[in-house]
Every structure is written in structure tokens, then in C-alpha cells.
Amino acid sequence: MTPEYRRLRVALLGAGAVGSQVASLLLQHGDELADRAGAVLELAGIAVRDVNAPRDVDLPAELFTTDAESLIVGADIVIELMGGIEPAREYILQAIGSGADVVTANKALLATHGPELFEAADQVGASVHYEAAAAGAIPIIRPLRDSLAGDRIVRIMGIVNGTTNYILDRMDTEGADFADVLAEAQRLGYAEADPTADVESYDAAQKAAILASLAFHTAVPLEAVHREGITGVTKAMIDQARDADQVIKLLAVCERIDVDGAESISVRVYPALVSRTHPLASVHGAHNAVFVEAEAAGDLMFYGAGAGGIQTASAVLGDVVSAARRHIAGGTGVGESTRANMPVAPIGHVVTRYQITLEVDDQPGVLATIAGILSDGGVSVATVVQTVVDLSTPVAEPGRSTGTGIPTALLVIGTHRATEQALSDTVARLAESDVVERVASVLRVEGE
Amino acid sequence: MTPEYRRLRVALLGAGAVGSQVASLLLQHGDELADRAGAVLELAGIAVRDVNAPRDVDLPAELFTTDAESLIVGADIVIELMGGIEPAREYILQAIGSGADVVTANKALLATHGPELFEAADQVGASVHYEAAAAGAIPIIRPLRDSLAGDRIVRIMGIVNGTTNYILDRMDTEGADFADVLAEAQRLGYAEADPTADVESYDAAQKAAILASLAFHTAVPLEAVHREGITGVTKAMIDQARDADQVIKLLAVCERIDVDGAESISVRVYPALVSRTHPLASVHGAHNAVFVEAEAAGDLMFYGAGAGGIQTASAVLGDVVSAARRHIAGGTGVGESTRANMPVAPIGHVVTRYQITLEVDDQPGVLATIAGILSDGGVSVATVVQTVVDLSTPVAEPGRSTGTGIPTALLVIGTHRATEQALSDTVARLAESDVVERVASVLRVEGE
């Protein structure tokens, strides 16, 4: 049944937190990825410094090699997840030179040597993909490069470092000191033993350089990014901000500005006061978000997990699929891929929670009757709240009373998860019941 | 200085709220768009039913024609913004047949005839772009199709109709009735005179079909979407939700579900209860948002304006640039475009607001001295709050007192916007002043 796909050789450089997840997902979801890419993505090998080092994920030992250069030769797609400048830069240039497309999450390298790599790729018609380098799993590269290509971006404000957002958020919600929260973050693995790259905003500055380059179609060298860390943010500053309905966030700001009549850009990273009503103020914990102001599109926000091995692996694999689509002939990557072609289930199969509000007779035994109907329908009750309706309501008002003189109660029933079929059948039976005057409302509960 | 770009002929079908903005931006930002696309985007003409009809935007009369078919012949890119099924479908098929790439925002057409159009395009290697069809200006198509192509999407919950979100939001914040809010929305232009497409969720159902098709790589016919409107949502239901810390939102839910052991999908649109702590609960007014849950990437949210002529035009033009990049030889559209190459300004040129917190001597004349320093530095004061610091603080504590026995006051100064240069020079002068004991903190205020 599977179409005859071309095979593409994928070389992976690095097997750290992200690399090992990428390898694992490539092996695990091979068929599905082949359908998405229109090509079989064959993991040819994983280059590491030490083949015997412990990994986050179990991977076949025969995939590992210390010989990155041989692995790159003959690869169609090279995924660089080693980090650092050298030898990552050298390997990427080798990959481009041998005709491979490159996927990387290396923000330090892109922020310092991006133009060199893109230039090399352009000369041979190769591509460099880096969705994972700017805001982890949040898709921000394609929106900036493609979706907003017909617009003029005015300003980007990004929370692009999860560690510092976690620290500032805890300081805000717990009234704790910087040093205490940092120590706790280190204990929990949210911050590195040497937290300098995060708390002094080196990481955020690299991401800011990448975002600004894309947004303003301008090479932004890392040295041009104004950088301040969060080590000077005190409990007193945060308390003061809270009193003024503000919050302190480490922001990467990329902005179009006017300098003596010339259109220029500014790229800066510093802790700043943000109003509690701003969407960025509600980005909590280690989450990231990028707020974009564009002339025509208006305000946009992209929100999600900023880091984490598996989250970043998602972005890397998206790039791998894009690179593969480019590789196969005629693959425009623009039309619909409907190769999964799953059946669309009728609503009856959906499993959800209901909140059912009933107007019932307020007399003994009613709850038992209703509970019986629910139980017979296979619907389990999570919560019941009963309120007696205002008895001053005139009995003549339609739907408010049975007219028998029995007072009316309002019963709000929260169900456990059940199929729509079971739920809607049960609601129909409730509506028919003698003790139910009216089904006042039925709503699904989503997002739990 | 401008590179010699190839010219691409762009045909525009329709000059309504979105079409007239697209035409205007194409004419206005021609040079910039050429740099982005690597090709000159020449607006060859605008096909309309009545060339003399009033337009939202002034456009050259000679561009208008009633002869769409002649306009399509010879076009490299055809932008379809007429809406409706016919003749839009016919024109798009003609455009594909004559080798053009197509950009459309026509959700009704895509939800009903999408597979036919994509199939026709695939056969000749043309592309159909439709970023504007699913959530207005919010980039969601590329993230779903490309960025998340290596992941498995579990569930999408979208607020994809601005009118109904506006109505439900007003009912929630003002405790108003559906009918009253609808009437007001119609007066303000947020709702159509015939609101059926919005309040009965036809519009949201079309968008849900498009999102589900993309997310699950499956053709989702519009008839398979379970659809319920918001006309049955009462003030009582909203009040009850509020009391339970919930909010009622019209959600488009696209979900991977298991039906008798077979992997299936469910696509449904209905008003549902959402906890106030869920990110979707804080999507107010006519805004849209799409919340995506993916296996590896975790939770993502995309937020922005859902509709509006100029906002939607931004998404359309992004698609036009993508289509143009595909058209030009060797244009991978993946490498960095740095053709704008604007200068990166040093931090001193940035214009922002400061909040300066000073510990000062609490004696007469101090405020005047400080105001003088600010004024001399060209920094205008917006707010000043003075608090006397707890006098029980021992005088010996470093930085808490001048040691002269004069009590210390805390002065929080909010400045108006000024350049960083002026602000930082002024802060330096404040720090040197005899009346200032300590500059406790200096923070920029962003996001205003």
C-alpha cells in the first residue's frame, strides 16, 4: 500500500537532549514522516564525540560513530545539533559543499556566522533551516520569513529565554529573592550550574539577532545587540512593579526606528516593565512567547514551550521534512498532503465532558431519579450543585414551574468524560423525565 | 542600485475590503516587495463586476476590468478574493491550467472544493496558497503544514470567528443578552446585517475543515464537521460560567480520537465552557486564537486579529511573495534575504520610557533639584511618586542613609519617551547629585 518513496540519507551530528529525541522520533515515526515528506528519511548515523556516553534515550549502538566527516559525505540532509561554533561551522560548510540541505538549532553559530552559512548555501542552491534556533518549539521562523513577507514588521518583543522567565515569574508570584529562586531553578534543572548564558542574556541576545535579521531583512551581528542581564533585578523592583500593575520581563526587543531621518533598526535585550494587561505579562514559568507588531497584520503573538529536548526536536523534525520536500522532484510542499486520510468520525464518537443544567421539581427523590437516568445511560457524575430557584417567581411564568405548586430547583451536573452519543441520549432521557421541568442548558467542557 | 528583477504579472480578482487593500499595498510597497520576493510584482489588473462601484481605497481606474478570464491569461500569480463558490472555482481552475500560482482567502471554496483544486494544482506543479483562509492575519497554515510536519498534532482548539467571540466576550464582561449585543455588534460593523454565517457557525465550520485537513493530512469534507451556533447561549449560562470561573467560547475543535480501535479524527464547532485559566479564555473582543496540542512540541498558541481588510491583506501578500519566490529560478526562499540591509542603531538612539527609582534626602528643595537635572537632560517627567522610607532603618546600613541624620525618601519617576542617550546621561547626572543617595533601579517600560 505504501507508495514507492525515494530514500534520503539523514546524518545527525550530536546526541544530546535534542539530538537523541530527534533520532528516536525519526526511528519511531518513520512511516508517518515518509508520508509527510514524500521520501523515506533514513537515519544513516549519529556522529558523537564518545559513542559510549550515556544518552537520554535508548538508540541502536550501530548508529553511532565518531567520524562526522565520513557520515556527512553522501548525506542528503545533515542535522547539526552539536552546539558551539567549531567544529559545527566546519561540518555545516562541508555538508553544504557536498550538496546536502542543513537543519540546525545552533543559535550561537547562526548569530555569529549566519551570513557566511547562508551565502555558502545560496551559492550551491542548498538550504539552511533553523526553526529550533529562535524560540524552541514555537514556529516563528516561517511566520516571519514567509507569512509576514508582504507586511512591514514594526516591532518584535520576545520572551525567548525560559530560564529567566521562570526566575522572574517565581520572584513575582512568590515574592522571593533572585538568588533563592536561581538556586531552586538549578536544583530543579531549569537553570544550568553555570547560569551565565541565561541570566546575563547571552542566549536571548543570540535569538534576538536571529529574529531581527529575519524580521528586517538585515544582517544583524551579535555585537550590535544591546544586552543586559537580570542579575540586578531585586525583590524590591518586582514588588514595586506589582504595586503598579506591572511585571518585569526579560524582553528581546527588535524595532524599526528612525535615526536622523534614516530608517534603522534597534536590537536589545533587557529586563523591562510590562503592564499586566499586555499579553506578554501572562507568559508564565519557562514558557516563551514572541509578540509581533506589523503594519498591516496588527498585533500577533506566538506562544509555547521555549526549550526542552522533545519540544525542540519537534521544530527540528519539521525542518527535516521541509528539507526533504525540497529534495524530491516536483515536491512543491505547498499542496495538501492527504496521505494519512483518516476517517472523520461522527460527533457521537467524541469523548468529552458535559455540564447539564436542569430545572427540576424540588421534592424528595428527584436527585435519585436523575442519578439513575445518568447511571443507566453510562454517564458518570463528577459534580452536582443544587440551588433552589427564587420562589417569588410567579407560578404562571412558562417553563419556570410545573404549575403543580411544587417549587423549582436548579441542578447543575458536571459529568465525567463520556461519548457524545451516551451524553446526548442521556440528556434526551432527562428531558423526557417527569421530574425535569426543563433542560436549561447543555455545554461541553473543553481545554482540560 | 536595484538588482535587475524578473517581472511577474499579478492578476487580482475582487476589490472588496481585502482586495482593495491588497491592491493598495502592492502599489505602495512595490520596491520592498520586489526585494522580498526577488521579483517585481506587477499588478496587471483587477477584475470586478462593476468598475464604477465605490471602493474602500483609491486605486487607478485603468486597473479595473470586468473581463476576469482575459486578465488570468498570461498571469504568473492569480489572487482570488471574490468569495463564493462560482465563478471563483472556475477562475482558479483556469489560472492553474494556464500555469499560474494561486493565492486565495476563500474558505467556503476551500472547505467544499479544496481537494479538487489541490489535485489540479499538483498535476501541473502549480501551488495554491491560502494563509488568509483559516484565521485571518494569524500565520497558522505554514506552522501546521511545515513547522509541525515532523510532529503529531493531538488537538486544535480555535477561536476562529471574530464576530461570535466579540458577542460572547461582551455578554461576559457586560452581563448583556445575546440579542442586545448582536444588535450593537451590527451597529458597530462587527456583525453583518444577516449574521447567520457567523452566529450559526458556518464560517467557523469552514475554517475548522481547513485546519483539520492540514493538521491531520486528511481530506475533511465540510459535511463531516459537526456544527452548533451560539444563538442558544443565554445570559444565564454565561453568568453561571462566570460564577464557576469559566467562560463560554465558540470553539472549533479538531481532534485525533480512537473509534473502536481505529485512529479517526473529530471536527466540531460549538460553544463550550473553558476554564478562565486556559490561554484561550483571555482572547477578547474580535480577536482570534488557535491553540495547538502536539505530541512533541507540547502546547502552542497563535493569536492575532481574525479578520479586517488590511489584516487579511497582510496574509494574502505573504502568500503572494511565497508564490513569487517559487516562480523565480533558484529561489529557494529558505536562505536569508538581507536585501533591506538597514543599519543597526546603537542603543543610544532608541526611544523609550524609563522608570527611575531614587533614594533621596527627604528635605525641602530636593524635588526641585531633581526636576532640574531631568529638565536639563531633555527628559520630561510623566509621573512622580514619593514615599518616605521607614525611619526605623538604622542609619549605619550602607546605602540607606547619607549618615547626616536626614531621613530618606523613595522617589519613583516615570519619564516620557526620550532617547536612551538622554535618559542614561540624565541618570548618570542624578547619581552624581548631592541630594541623591542611591539610584535604586532604572527600568525601561515596554509594550505601551
pLDDT tens, A17-30? 999 999 999 999 99
pLDDT in the model for residue B3 = 62
pLDDT at residue number B231: 93
A279 → chain B, closest CA residue: B282
Q: Which residues of A touch B271 (CB under 8 A)?
A: 443
Chain A positions in Cβ-Cβ contact with residue B351 (cut-off 8 Å): 257
Nearest CA in chain B to A213: B338
Amino acid at A443: L
Evaluate whether B131 touches A300 at the Cβ level (below 8 Å): no
Interchain proximity A339–B298, CB inside 8 Å: no
- Residue in B354, B416, B443 with CA at minimum distance from that of residue A271: B443
Q: Is A32 exposed, middle or buried (0-12, 13-18, 19+ CB in 10 A)?
A: middle
Residue where the block lists cell 519539521: A318
Q: What is the mean pLDDT of residues A46-52?
A: 94
- A323 contact partners, CB below 8 Å, separation of at least 6: A77, A101, A102, A103, A127, A129
What is the torsional sign of CA B324, B328, B332, B337? negative
- How much is the mean pLDDT over chain A? 88
Q: Which residues are CB-neighbours of A103 under 8 A, at least 6 positions away?
A: A77, A78, A79, A80, A128, A129, A130, A316, A319, A320, A323
Nearest to A172 by CA among A233, A235, A251: A235
Region A45-61 average pLDDT:
91
Chain A residues touching residue B127 (CB < 8 angstroms): 332, 334-335
Degrees to nearest 5, angle at CA A203 with A198 and A204: 100
Which one of B18, B41, B113, B151 makes the best mutation probe of the A interface by having the most chain A beta carbons within 10 Å?
A: B151
Beta bridge partners of B147: none
How far apart, in whole angstroms, are the C-alpha atoms of residue B140 and residue B149? 13
B389 touches chain A (CB under 8 A): no
Give the per-residue pLDDT at A352. 85
What is the chain A residue with the closest CA to B309? A296
In this structure, of A439-448, B104-113, B301-310, B415-424, the range with the lowest mean pLDDT score is A439-448
What average pLDDT does the segment B110-135 reach? Answer: 91
Chain B nearest-CA residue for A299: B304
Cβ-nearest to A296 among B314, B322, B340: B314
- Measured in whole angstroms, how far is the alpha carbon of residue B15 from the centre of its chain? 22
State yes or no: cis peptide before B407, omega within 30 of 0. Answer: no
Cross-chain Cβ contact A314/B337 below 8 Å: no
Length of chain B: 448
Is residue B326 scored above 90 in pLDDT?
no
pLDDT at A398: 45
pTM of the model: 0.88
Quick check: B344 and A221 CB within 8 A? yes
The arithmetic mean of pLDDT across residues A284-313, rounded, is 92
- Any B CB within 8 A of A16 CB: no
Task: List the beta bridge partners of residue A156.
Answer: A254, A292
Interchain contact, B445 vs A273, CB within 8 Å: yes
CB contact (8 A) between residue B445 and residue A336: no
B215-247: per-residue pLDDT in tens? 998 888 899 999 999 999 999 889 988 988 999
Whether residues B300 and A224 touch (CB distance < 8 A) is answered with no
A341 touches chain B (CB under 8 A): yes
pLDDT reading at B393 higher than 80: no
pLDDT at residue B344 greater than cutoff 90: no
pLDDT tops 70 at residue B403? no
Domain A6-137+311-327 superfamily per CATH:
NAD(P)-binding Rossmann-like Domain (3.40.50.720)
In A313-332, the residues whose Cβ lies within 8 Å of chain B are 313-322, 326, 330, 332
Closest listed residue to residue A135, CA positions, set A258, A292, A289: A289
Using alpha carbons, select from A174, A229, A1, A10 the residue that is nearest to residue A103: A10
CB contact under 8 A, A304 and B305: no
Q: Which residues contact A11 (CB under 8 A, 6 or more apart)?
A: A44, A45, A47, A71, A72, A75, A77, A78, A79, A95, A100
More confident residue, A190 or B20: B20
Q: Which three cell numbers mark A151?
A: 507586511
Query: Minimal CA–CA distance to B171: which of B68, B71, B285, B257?
Result: B285
- Enter the ipTM: 0.87
In CATH, which of 3.30.360.10, 3.40.50.300, 3.40.50.970, 3.30.1330.10 is domain A141-307? 3.30.360.10
Identify the closest residue of chain B to A261 by CA–CA distance.
Answer: B349
Chains A, B: CB contacts within 8 A come to 394
Backbone region of residue A38 per phi and psi (left: phi > 0; alpha: psi in -120 to 50; beta: other values): left
pLDDT in tens, A90-123: 999 999 999 999 999 999 999 999 989 999 998 8
CB atoms within 10 A of CB A421: 16
Distance between B125 CA and the closest CA of chain A, angstroms: 7
Q: What's the start-to-end Cα distance of chain B, in Å?
A: 38
Residue B445 CB burial class (10 angstroms; 0-12, 13-18, ≥19): buried
One of 3.90.550.10, 3.40.50.720, 3.90.230.10, 3.30.70.100 is the CATH number of B6-135+311-327, namely 3.40.50.720
3-state secondary structure of B157: strand
In SS3 terms, B117-136 reads as HHHHHHHHCCCEECCHHHHC
Cβ atoms of A199 and A270 within 8 Å: the answer is no
For residues B261 and B274, give the distance between their C-alpha atoms in angstroms, rounded to a whole number. 29
Q: Which one of A148, A273, A332 has the shortest CB-CB distance to B443?
A: A273
Count the neighbouring beta carbons within 10 Å of the beta carbon of residue A387.
11
Every domain of chain A and the residues it spans = 6-137+311-327, 141-307, 347-445
Window 269-298 of A, Cβ < 8 Å to B: 270-275, 278-280, 282, 291, 294-298
- Put simply, whether A118 touches B (Cβ < 8 Å) is yes
Q: Is the pLDDT of residue B443 over 80?
A: yes
Residue B406 DSSP code: P
Spatial distance between the Cα atoms of B137 and A292, rounded to a whole number of angstroms? 12
The three cell numbers of residue B136 are 485571518
Rounded to whole angstroms, the Cα distance separating B39 from A368 reads: 73
Exactly one of B107, B207, B235, B249 is catalytic; which is it? B207
The dihedral formed by the CA atoms of A283, A289, A291 and A296, expressed in degrees to the nearest 10: -120
Greater confidence (A366 vs B339) lies with A366
Residue A309 touches partner B, C-beta closer than 8 Å: no
**C-alpha cell, B162:** 471574530
Highest mean pLDDT among A212-216, B133-137, B166-170: B166-170
Distance separating the N- and C-terminal Cα atoms of chain A: 38
Q: Which amino acid is at B48?
A: V
Q: Which chain A residue lies closest to B300 (C-alpha atoms)?
A: A304
State yes or no: pLDDT of A334 exceeds 60. no
Interface of A with B in 201-230 (CB under 8 A): 212-214, 216-221, 224, 226
Nearest CA in chain A to B213: A338
Name the B residues in 160-199 with CB < 8 Å from any A CB: none
CATH level 3 topology of B141-306: Dihydrodipicolinate Reductase; domain 2 (3.30.360)
Q: Which of residues 90-109 of B touch A (CB under 8 A)?
A: none
Query: Smallest Cα–Cα separation from A286: which of A157, A158, A166?
Result: A166
**Closest in A137, A263, A280 to B300, CB measured:** A137
What pLDDT, on the 0 to 100 scale, is given for residue A9? 97
Q: How far apart are CA B204 and CA B197, in angstroms?
A: 8
B contacts of A178 (beta carbons < 8 Å) = none
Q: Which of A291, A298, A294, A299 is nearest to A272 (CA)?
A: A291
Between the alpha carbon of residue A371 and those of residues A153, A413, A445, the distances in Å are 57, 10, 20
Report yes or no: B3 at the A interface, CB cutoff 8 Å: no
**The three three-digit cell numbers of residue B138, written as one number:** 494569524
Look at A271 and B304 and tell me if their CB atoms are within 8 Å: no
Mean pLDDT to the nearest integer, B185-205: 92
How much is the pLDDT for A340?
61
Q: Which residue of A has its CA nearest to B345?
A: A266
Within a 10 A sphere around the Cβ of A54, how many other Cβ atoms? 5
Nearest to A266 among B139, B216, B349 (CB): B349
8 A C-beta contact, residue B156 and residue B143: no
Nearest to A335 among B35, B122, B299 (CB): B122
Asked if B440 contacts B357 with a C-beta cutoff of 8 angstroms, the reply is yes
**pLDDT greater than 60 at residue A333:** no
Superfamily of the domain at B347-445: ACT domain (3.30.70.260)
Residue among A270, A274, A273, A275 nearest A251 (CA): A270
Report cis status (omega within 30 of 0) of the bond before A87. yes
Q: Could you tell me the three cell numbers for A20?
A: 537523541
Is A282 in Cβ contact with B279 (below 8 Å)? Answer: yes
Q: Which of A128, A272, A440 sits opposite B335 (nearest CB)?
A: A128
Residue in chain B lying closest to A278 (CA): B447
Task: Please tell me if residue B20 touches chain A, with a CB cutoff of 8 Å.
Answer: no
Query: Which of B221, B301, B317 lies closest to A304 in CB terms?
Result: B301
Q: Residue B222 in contact with residue B177, Cβ under 8 Å?
A: no
B150:A305 CB<8 A: no
Cβ-count burial B350-374 (b if 16+ within 10 Å, e if not): bebbbbbbbbbbbeeebeebbeebb
Give pLDDT, residue A405: 65
Asked whether the beta carbons of residue B125 and residue A332 sit closer than 8 angstroms, the reply is yes
Residues of A with a known catalytic role: 207
In whole angstroms, give the CA distance from residue B385 to residue B443: 15
| 3-state secondary structure string across chain A | CCCCCEEEEEEEECCCHHHHHHHHHHHHCHHHHHHHHCEEEEEEEEECCCCCCCCCCCCCHHHEECCHHHHHCCCCEEEECCCCCCCHHHHHHHHHHCCCEEEECCHHHHHHHHHHHHHHHHHHCCCEECCHHHHCCCCCHHHHHHHCCCCCEEEEEEECCHHHHHHHHHHHHHCCCHHHHHHHHHHCCCCCCCCHHHHCCHHHHHHHHHHHHHHHCCCCCHHHCEECCCCCCCHHHHHHHHHCCEEEEEEEEEEEEEECCEEEEEEEEEEEEEECCCHHHHCCCCEEEEEEEECCCEEEEEEEECCCHHHHHHHHHHHHHHHHHHHCCCCCCCCCCCCCCCCECCHHHCEEEEEEEEEEECCCCHHHHHHHHHHHCCCCEEEEEEEECCCCCCCCCCCCCCCCCCCEEEEEEEECCEEHHHHHHHHHHHHHCCCEEEEEEEEEEECC
Q: Does B24 touch chain A (CB under 8 A)?
A: no
